[in-house]
Amino acid sequence: MIEIKDVTKIYTSKNRQVIGVDHVSLTIQAGEIFGVIGYSGAGKSTLLRCLNLLERPTSGQIMIDGVDLTSLNSEQLRQARLKIGMIFQHFYLVSSKTVFENIAFALKAANKPKEEIEKRVNELLDIVGLSDKRDAYPAQLSGGQKQRVGIARALANDPNVLLCDEATSALDPSTTKSILTLLKKINRELGITIVLITHEMEVVKDICDRVAVMQNGKIIELGTVYELFTNPKEELTKSFINSILQFEVPDHLLQKRTGTMVKILFKGESAEEAIVSDMLQTFKVKGNILHGKIEYIQNIPLGVFIMELTGERKEIERALDYISERTNGLEVIAHAA
């Protein structure tokens, strides 16, 4: 378990103070994949680097498995960091060393014997799918392969926690998917707690169990990924979610409407039921679906449909009541003039 207790990080620059992290408290459960999302400058990377004291908090405590890292001396902290792996956006591989040597570096730094290093590196190469690249150099690898080396290196000393600082930001969408799949596999098979920093809600949707939204050094919203997708409270959270679900109705559709335009939210089982079809058969209204999308978040469906209903006003109102009773959200966007 990771406990972040009232952590603040203040930088002093040119006789002025800049607050990077502002009184943040979080509990991250052992074995979960926890995301922290925010735009550039939100403080998320600073918070991540506080977790292994690459940035020492100005105040507050970092507790990992009951140990307060801020209270450790240099040697104790070095030992504690062996159990905290870190993956970076830009890989940071040594260009003059092979894949094997880049991964072995972390083990050599921990004073592991040669035979153990050989065995462990081969195990890690198998885990990340790079057994055939053992003797290759970084210049011979793709971006995704370089990040797999970075992941293997971070896993070298069998950590309990894996910190990922924008680990997929330098990768194309297809490669990002493969890296996220690998991280999820590592989490499930090895039981490693993963803390993942990103500015992409798609990454959060694909891999995280819970997520915190950061702005101006503070946590402004926190919950399971499904909770935030279905019921976001803050405008920043809504903007992140809209980037995936695209809730906004184009102006030209609003201008052309001849009926009542509604947005319908389906959660869980309701997203898989024929509610709209049943409504159209039950009431004397016609329906035109203008936009529709179902996303699976943590394997639970979330559907959004935008429809235009035409017919007599009373019949439309009855149809809307029917939908409202059977779904998780109904918003009338506009009535025809």
Convert 201-252 into a string of H (helix), E (strand) and C (coil): HHHHHHHCCEEEEEECCEEEEEEEHHHHHHCCCCHHHHHHHHHHHCCCCCHH
Contacts of 76 (CB under 8 A, 6+ apart): none
Q: Which residue has the higher pLDDT, 57 or 287?
A: 57
Across residues 71-97, what is the average pLDDT?
Answer: 91
99 confidence band (pLDDT: 50, 70, 90): very high
So where are the chain's domains?
2-243, 251-334
Q: What are phi and psi of 24, to 5 degrees?
A: -95, 130
| Residue 177: predicted pLDDT | 93
Q: Model confidence over 173-205: pLDDT tens digits?
A: 899 999 999 999 999 999 999 999 999 999 999
- More confidently predicted of 266 and 21: 21
Q: How is the beta sheet containing 33-37 ordered, strand by strand? A: 84-87, 161-165, 193-198, 33-37, 210-215, 218-224
| pLDDT value for 102 | 94
In the chain, DSSP finds a helix count (H) and a strand count (E) of 12, 14
pLDDT above 70 covers a percentage of the chain that reads: 96
Residue 272 has pLDDT above 90, yes or no: no
**231-248: b (≥16 Cβ within 10 Å) or e:** ebeeebbeebbeebbeee
Residue 248 has pLDDT above 70, yes or no: no
Q: What is the pLDDT of residue 32?
A: 97
> What CATH number should be reported for the domain whose range is 251-334?
3.30.70.260
CATH number of this structure's domain 2-243: 3.40.50.300
Q: With cut-offs at 50, 70 and 90, classify the pLDDT of residue 253.
A: low
Residue 337 in this model has a pLDDT that exceeds 60: no
